[in-house]
Structure 1
Amino acid sequence: MKKLILIASIAAAVLAGGCTNAPSENEGSGQEQQTSAPTTEPTASAQPGNEATPAPTAPQAGNGTTGEDGQAQTFATPKDAASAVITALKNKDIKALNAYVHPENGLRFSPYAHIDSESAVHFGPGKLPELNDDTVYTWGAYDGSGEPIKLTFGQYYDRFVYDHDYANPQETGWDTILGSGNTTPNMKEIYPDSYVVDYHFKGFDEKNEGMDWASLILVLQEHEGGWYVSAIAHSGWTI
């Protein structure tokens, strides 16, 4: 009988020891979950971090308007360059126009389609005067009278550059001269590697039977992979 009591006591002690060890194992696994939780929280906070949307993107896009700071603007094609130049002329934006001028050849102005390289006024890269500059230049000679064309840059601009809305012409000649009157265009002789764009109006009043036609011709040249304007020539009916 004493043996049975002793065996029962030992069994009870073993069972009691097993019950006390169970909570200890559960507590250990709970601690592992708690320590692993902080490792996931930093990961979650890093994901919404602004690395996926870099802040420099918008400012870089804004800096694309290179012409605004007076530096040379590069265009991959002559048509792109011509479009930028004619827009600058329309807006009277001399700062932008300066950026489109050929970096080596500068910009020459001619009142007629036949460019006189000796008398035509030439400005170096980035050297265009302001429209309100009061310096008087001799731009060549008037057709017919032969009198010298003495005008300020602003006066010449209004008379021999943007005297019509050439940004919206009736016709556009891509590497083709559409009108020349009695003068012979010589752009390709002076600038043999050039591409010319002729913004042309066939006339403005029917009673003039086309004798009031007008053109603005851009002479574009390539330089180190980009296209720039080297000359701007006005053209119209001449005697």
Structure 2
Amino acid sequence: MATILVVDDELGIRALLSEILTDEGHTVELAENAHQARARRERLRPDLVLLDIWMPEVDGITLLKEWSANGQLTMPVIMMSGHGTIDTAVEAVKLGAMAFLEKPITLQKLLRAVEQGLARPQARGAEPAAGSELPRSAPEPASPLPTLSVPTLSEAPTTSATGQRPAIQHFELDRPLREARDAFEKAYFEFHLARENGSMTRVAEKTGLERTHLYRKLKQLGVDLNRSRKGLVG
């Protein structure tokens, strides 16, 4: 796997990208400003850099220009911004960035851009990778309907190998719709977390939710992520 440097002044963005990329098996280093980014680039020589545009003091475009002018653009750079424009994206690509991602960044576009960036050597003036266009927000799937019974967390991935029948959880339908739906959704997400061994990346892909929305949903439902990550079921 690769060493990826994430440069962003927002703690939440750094933490989220770090967890996603670590889940994918990469080694992730973090920097919150241009000064830290310079130092970590020199020390680590990362395989790829995710660089935010809007940062205090020295912004991402200025840092990209500096690396390009000094012959330090030896790694693929993917620019990120929550307030990007077409002109900004074009400027970044002309300076040597290989892709431009607009925040909030969808999981699919992030992973695709990173994969393509790591698959080819950095080339100044290269065309942006597929998926680097300004993304539209992906529609969220409708909430699951309450039902009488579904497999619970006790249905571990190894049940088919052991020959054990999956446990069934029964829901009371004679209750307010919101309560019944929340109970179903909690069991649904706990089941998928157990089956994917706690990998938020794979659960997000499996359930069709963006990662940030998935985190909010799990917190709202009171799902114990630590328990899921340890693979404890039943």
**TM-score between the two structures when normalised by the length of structure 2:** 0.19
Higher relative contact order (CA 8 A, sep 6+): 1
**Which structure has the larger Rg over C-alpha atoms?**
1
Query: Which has the larger share of helix?
Result: 2
- The structure carrying a bigger strand percent of its residues is 1
Output the TM-score relative to the length of structure 1. Answer: 0.19
